[in-house]
Chain A
Amino acid sequence: MPRTEFSPSITSRPVYPGLTPQGATPAIMLAEGPGAEAILDLAALDASVMDLAHLIYIPAGHDAGLRLAALGAKMYREAPSYASALERYRKALADARMGTTLYLAGSEGMIGQAVAEALAAGLPPEAIQTEHRGTIARRMQCVHCKGVTENVTIDPFLCSHCGLTLFVRDHFSRRLGAFQGVCVDAETPGIVPEVQEIKP
């Protein structure tokens, strides 16, 4: 699955320019599902990026573990989900020093949460590289109940917490790592536009 190309949007919508090797500098790498291919491509460009890298992989049904493990990262771990990888990832950030590069590859939901975590830990945004691979499902925050609905692929969608029908905005909060969902039928309850698949 190649790198996803998104159509141009408003300035608050994140863009994922792709991973570029920064050489054998300290690195934290977080890959999810087909994001593994982005790390493999990165290492193919410059194998030395793995020398000081701490690589965490969340397979999410995409089995690239053996190939990633073979890249020779300084440390390699797999975790069944982002939530289960979180403490390990936080520890890696807490131990990191300035000059560390963070490589993130996978879905928007994972990248958004991981970026928010890294920024809170003090990593400068310019030290974060991102590449989108795999599902274009979005992580949506309901502006009304503040609940987050993961893996949203349709617009409008039902908030999994408060049940309101929300439309999918491109407005994105880096701090929350989520897009904004707003009630689509607030003015005319029950009158909801036809459901569409989200496009990149």
Chain B
Amino acid sequence: MTIQFHDETFRDDYTFHNSPEGIRRFPFPFDQDSYMYSVNLEPHAGGKAGSPFEKRFDVDEHYVAEMRDRAITLAEDPLRCQSLPHMELAGWDFLELVMVSKSEDYPELFMLNRDGDRWHWINRPLGIEQRFTFLDATTLPCGPMEYITRQTQGDHALLDQRDGNLWMDAGMVTSQADWSLDFDIGMNFFEWHAPVPKAHELGVFQRALKFLLNLQQGAPSRRLNWTMTVNPRLDTSPENYHKWGPEKRTVAPGNVGAKQYLRVELQTLWRLPRSNAIAFPIRCYLCSLEDLVTVPKWGRRLHRVLRDLPDELAEYKGFAVNRPVILDYLAPFDDGAPTSPGIFPD
């Protein structure tokens, strides 16, 4: 398998695009024709060959372009990557997890040689070669979490576990669904989820926290989350909301298929060994409506889910204002036929 890395952008001229294979492997998040919050965690222990669930850290055709976009965001605002002082050990744990996983899962792209604490890392797609001393941050160009997350798709949070709670104490967040690491860093599980409507009443966070506190090393979990984004934009941060906000109002019947994207987060959770912290990568996948409806099952189902979603959730997911246009576009792809269970295309 050779991945053809796209030369594409996630801002300005938005040349991002999915290949036909990229569309087929898109992690469509709805396994039935309706949606409500749930804990929906399952073991992250591989998955269908070629799917984003197969490898521990999925690398796809957007890898190089996404890392370039992250570098642009960080150059404008270094506060998108922060780590409270006690989280450096967790940063090393995470660096190890990613380097070991990627070099084993993609040996043609990544190479790791370890001689005790003397490590040698090669990242071929990004043209990086680095020799460094494990657990000695002065031998890397930046902190261990920043170093590895500049080379790993998705946002990443490192959660400290103490007092029967999880604390968002470090992260690299440049492609988030509207939350600010700089503001939320240091908060506990309930605090950083405080603005999410409805889920608290459903007890979702209580159950999820209970599960996560018992997460075991070597037994990672995953779940899917989703939202809607206008244009294939990774940096939908609150920091830059005044810059990208106006784009949300540019959706019209003539362009909605190309402009409106379903944004899916593949969230994985890993217990880290030395720090006992939890790594929480939030990997973002984008697919335009016009690409999604090329899979008939997804076209039917997406129409039903978005049509029946409570207003409060449509508001929180940020697409309430565009819902009528989106539904008008999707309706012709929903012939009322039943859909098969599960998320994969028929």
Contacts and interface: CB of A to CB of B under 8 A. Distances in A.
Interface of A: 10-13, 141, 143-144, 146, 164, 169, 171, 173-176, 180, 182-183, 186-189
Contacts of B290: none
A151 B148 CA distance: 41
The 4 closest A-B pairs by CB, nearest first: A186-B245, A12-B194, A10-B194, A175-B186
B192 A146 contact: no
A181 B98 CA distance: 36
B37 interface: no
B187 interface: yes
Given A143-B238, A144-B240, A144-B241, A10 B187 contact: no
Nearest to B191: A12
Of A141, A143, A169, A183, most buried by chain B (CB within 10 Å of CB) is: A143
A108 to B, nearest CB: 16
B242 A186 contact: yes
Interface in B216-273: 238-242, 244-246, 248-249
Contacts of B187: 12, 173-174
B321 to A, nearest CB: 7
Contacts of A10: 194-195
A182 B241 CA distance: 8
Contacts of A171: 183, 194-195
B182 interface: yes
B183 A141 contact: yes
B183 A187 contact: no
B182 A187 contact: no
Interface in B151-194: 180, 182-187, 190-192, 194
B242 A144 contact: yes
Nearest to A173: B183
B245 A11 contact: no
Contacts of A164: 242
Given A141-B183, A186-B242, A186-B246, 20 more contacts: A10-B195, A11-B190, A11-B194, A11-B200, A12-B187, A12-B190, A143-B238, A164-B242, A169-B195, A171-B183, A171-B195, A173-B183, A173-B186, A173-B187, A174-B187, A175-B185, A182-B241, A186-B245, A187-B248, A187-B321
A183 B242 CA distance: 6
Of A169, A171, A188, A189, most buried by chain B (CB within 10 Å of CB) is: A171
Nearest to A183: B242
Overall SS of chain B's interface: helix
Nearest to B237: A143
A188 to B, nearest CB: 7
Nearest to B238: A143
A169 B179 CA distance: 13
B241 to A, nearest CB: 5
A187 B246 contact: yes
12 contacts: A11-B191, A11-B194, A12-B191, A143-B239, A146-B79, A171-B183, A173-B183, A174-B187, A175-B186, A186-B241, A188-B246, A189-B246
Of B79, B185, B244, B245, most buried by chain A (CB within 10 Å of CB) is: B245
Contacts of A169: 195
Nearest to A143: B238
Contacts of B200: 11
B233 to A, nearest CB: 14
Nearest to B240: A144
A180 B195 CA distance: 11
A60 to B, nearest CB: 27
B167 to A, nearest CB: 11
Interface in B38-53: none
B238 A182 contact: yes
A186 B238 CA distance: 10
Contacts of A174: 186-187
B243 to A, nearest CB: 8
Nearest to A165: B242
Contacts of A146: 79, 182
A183 B241 CA distance: 7
B183 A188 contact: no
A142 to B, nearest CB: 10
